[in-house]
Amino acid sequence: MTNMKVRVGSRGTIVVPKEVRVESGIREGDVLEVSVREGAIILMKDRTWERFHGCARGLTTVEDVERELDEDEGAWEKRLQR
């Protein structure tokens, strides 16, 4: 886990340090999800397309798709709790 301090500029802007961008695969133009959890500001690369692209291959029912999505959501919840 990388911890760094950044300064908030006018209009609330921050610069994500290069080391963090490289480690998390963030590139210019990427969309980030911003959320607040227990007082912590969380920035996550928006991977909506990556999460759903191809996820239904081999699944035959709505229940199969819902189960797969629930598993993915559970994995993200665990990552955020760390």
Burial 26-50 (b: 16+ CB within 10 A, else e): beeeeeeeeeeeeeeeeeeeeeeee
Position of tokens 């665990």? 78
Q: What is the pLDDT of residue 48?
A: 65
Single pTM value for the model: 0.52
Query: Quick one: how far is CA 58 from the chain centroid?
Result: 25
DSSP string, 47-68: -HHHHHTTTTTT--SHHHHHHH
Q: Are 55 and 65 in contact (CB under 8 A)?
A: yes
Q: Per-residue pLDDT tens for 29-54? A: 888 989 999 999 999 887 666 666 66
Q: Per-residue pLDDT tens for 48-76? A: 666 666 666 666 777 877 888 888 888 88
